[in-house]
Structures are given as structure tokens and as C-alpha cells.
């Protein structure tokens, strides 16, 4: 029973990490149809912002408030990734809408530039983040141990999902966002500034990636390729769940997370990744639109 509980907890833990990294893609790729190969680098930016915030607290602030650095890091990671995403959309991505291959190549080039910039600034060796005191250790229940940092990531993921749902489906900006993505011409006729919506939407997706990087920083060493460890599973979760559907991204992440953990128990991590990829490919052969599809209504249909 303890092993079963640990497996379920590990499945939820892996799912939460995949889901948190997928939320930004659910917006930039799912809603905007932009294949952003630099999404993993925004995760990296969030992780490095966590490290820089920690170093700032260590160097300039009293030790008594050191544990508060992580809350400041969450805000800093989202803000910096949001601003950089806005700049990237304004000067590069906005010129490539409707040109998927060009956007893939351009953002792939940006990914390499950002990785090299990180190596030049922080070095080729990885850096480490010290978890705040309230995330150190864990709680033991019935022979099973639940680490505080992974419990916090699960909570953070749930909070992020709620905020994204609130923005998309309960706020006026979310309605404008969905209107622009489903029928841009009609939205413009109704007075919606589609350029502003595009920029803010892409920036929010980038900011969510930065937030994911802040959580990833708690789990291991940070280097220039830390985002690449999660980007493939994130794309798979969005595609499996159905492009543009938040509930689909949640279910896609659950399937990938629990399938990976279950297969890995009997094989190895490499075989588990290959098996999960094969399962998704076979599923998409039968249902290429994913688990959920967006119903749209267009004048030219």
C-alpha cells in the first residue's frame, strides 16, 4: 500500500510539473497556433531568475527573511519572462503569424541564442537553488513520505490553472482573446484590438513558462538546457488533450505523467518515455484532434 501511495504521489508530482510547463504552451500554441520552440528557454529564464533572486537576498538582505526570497522569485520570474515574451512577440513572432514553418525556424534560432547567452552569463556548469526553510523536508503518513517542495509545486499548479481558467472564461480579456483566435476578422469588426490581444496573450504564455521554471529550480541543478527536459512532454500534453482546450491540457498531462511513472516502475526511464510517445502517436492516428476539440462558427463555413 505504501508503494502504491508513493507511486500515485509521484504520478501527481510529475503531472503537476508537466502541466505547469504546458500551461504557457496551451496559450501560445493552443490558442495562437504559434510553434514556439523557445518556450523551454522561458522556463530556463524563470529558473535563473529564481537563482538571481536568491543571490540578491543572500547579499543584500538580512538572513532572517531569506526564506521569503522564493515568493519574490515567483513574481520576478513571471515578470521577466512576460516582458521578454512581449518583446519577442512585438519584433519577431508578430511578423510570422500564419507561417508555421517560419515561426518554428525563427523561434528555434532564438532558443539557441538564449541558451548560449545563459552559458556566457552563468557558465557551462549548473547552479543550484537552496529551497526555503518551509519547503525543506516532508511529511510522513503511513510509511509514505511526501516532500514539501513537491506538495508546493502541486499547489502552485492548481493555483495557476485556476487563474488561467479565470482569465480565459470569466474575464472580458479572455473573451476577447478567444474571439480573436477563433475569428480574427469578426473580432476586429467588433472593435477588438487584435494586435494588443496577440501581444498580451503571448506574453502571458511566456510568463507562465517563467513560473514553471521557478518550480523546476527546486528539483535540481539549473543550466542552459534545463527547459529542454520538459518541452517535449509539454507539447505532447497540449496536442493529446486537444489544441486550445484547457481541460484537454490537464487530462493530457495526467495521462502522460501517470503513464510514464507506471511504465518506468517495470522498465527504465528511457523505455518509459519511448512507450508513452508510441501510445500518443497511436492515439492521434485514431483521433488526430486530440481528446477535445474547439467548436468554432465562421461566416465562410
Mean pLDDT of the chain: 85
User: Model-level pTM?
Assistant: 0.89
Q: Is the pLDDT score of 73 beyond 50?
A: yes
List the end-to-end C-alpha distance of the chain, in Å, as a whole number: 55
User: How far is residue 187's CA from residue 216's CA, in Å, rounded to a whole number?
Assistant: 37
3 state SS of 295: coil
Q: What is the pLDDT of residue 294?
A: 59
Q: Is the pLDDT score of 280 beyond 90?
A: no
Q: How far is CA 276 from CA 43, 87, 291, in A?
A: 23, 35, 16
Q: What is the pLDDT of residue 190?
A: 85
Rounded to an integer, the average pLDDT of 154-168 is 91
Q: What is the pLDDT of residue 299?
A: 40
Q: What is the pLDDT of residue 121?
A: 92
User: How far is residue 107's CA from residue 115's CA, in Å, rounded to a whole number?
Assistant: 12
CB atoms within 10 A of CB 190: 10
**Residue pLDDT, tens place only, 164-176:** 999 988 899 888 9
Q: Where are the domains of the chain?
A: 2-286
Query: Which CATH architecture group holds 2-286?
Result: Orthogonal Bundle (1.10)
Q: Is the pLDDT score of 2 beyond 80?
A: no
- Decide: residue 231, CB within 10 A, 0-12 exposed, 13-18 middle, 19+ buried: buried
Q: What is the pLDDT of residue 293?
A: 66
Q: What is the pLDDT of residue 300?
A: 42
The sign of the torsion formed by the CA atoms of 249, 255, 259, 261 equals positive
- Decide: residue 294, CB within 10 A, 0-12 exposed, 13-18 middle, 19+ buried: middle
Rounded to an integer, the average pLDDT of 78-104 is 90
**Residue pLDDT, tens place only, 106-132:** 999 999 999 999 999 998 888 999 989
Taking each helix axis from N to C end, the angle separating 2-28 and 39-60, rounded to the nearest 10 degrees, works out to 110
What percent of the chain shows pLDDT beyond 70?
A: 95
Amino acid at each position: 500500500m505504501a508503494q502504491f501511495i508513493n507511486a500515485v504521489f509521484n504520478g501527481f508530482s510529475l503531472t503537476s510539473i508537466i502541466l505547469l510547463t504546458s500551461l504557457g504552451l496551451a496559450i501560445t500554441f493552443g490558442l495562437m497556433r504559434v510553434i514556439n520552440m523557445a518556450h523551454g528557454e522561458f522556463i530556463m529564464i524563470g529558473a535563473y531568475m529564481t537563482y538571481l533572486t536568491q543571490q540578491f537576498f543572500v547579499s543584500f538582505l538580512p538572513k532572517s527573511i531569506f526564506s521569503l526570497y522564493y515568493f519574490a522569485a515567483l513574481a520576478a520570474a513571471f515578470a521577466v519572462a512576460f516582458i521578454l515574451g512581449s518583446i519577442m512577440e512585438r519584433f519577431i513572432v508578430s511578423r510570422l503569424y500564419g507561417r508555421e514553418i517560419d515561426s518554428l525556424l525563427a523561434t528555434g534560432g532564438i532558443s539557441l541564442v538564449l541558451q548560449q547567452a545563459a552559458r556566457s552569463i552563468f557558465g557551462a556548469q549548473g547552479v543550484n537553488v537552496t529551497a526555503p526553510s518551509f519547503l525543506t523536508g516532508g511529511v510522513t503518513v503511513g510509511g509514505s513520505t511526501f516532500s514539501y517542495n513537491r506538495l508546493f509545486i502541486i499547489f502552485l499548479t492548481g493555483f495557476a490553472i485556476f487563474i488561467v481558467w479565470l482569465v480565459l472564461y470569466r474575464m472580458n480579456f479572455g473573451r476577447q482573446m478567444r474571439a480573436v483566435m477563433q475569428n480574427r476578422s469578426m473580432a476586429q469588426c467588433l472593435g477588438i484590438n487584435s494586435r494588443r490581444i496577440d501581444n498580451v496573450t503571448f506574453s502571458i504564455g511566456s510568463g507562465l513558462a517563467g513560473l514553471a521554471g521557478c518550480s523546476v529550480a527546486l528539483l535540481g541543478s539549473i543550466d542552459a538546457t534545463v527547459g529542454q527536459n520538459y518541452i517535449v512532454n509539454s507539447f505532447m500534453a497540449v496536442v493529446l488533450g486537444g489544441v486550445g482546450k484547457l481541460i484537454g491540457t490537464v487530462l493530457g498531462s495526467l495521462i502522460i505523467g501517470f503513464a510514464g511513472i507506471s511504465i518506468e516502475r517495470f522498465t527504465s526511464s528511457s523505455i518509459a518515455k519511448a512507450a508513452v510517445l508510441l501510445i500518443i502517436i497511436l492515439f492521434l492516428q485514431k483521433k488526430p484532434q486530440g481528446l477535445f476539440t474547439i467548436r468554432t462558427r465562421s461566416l465562410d463555413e
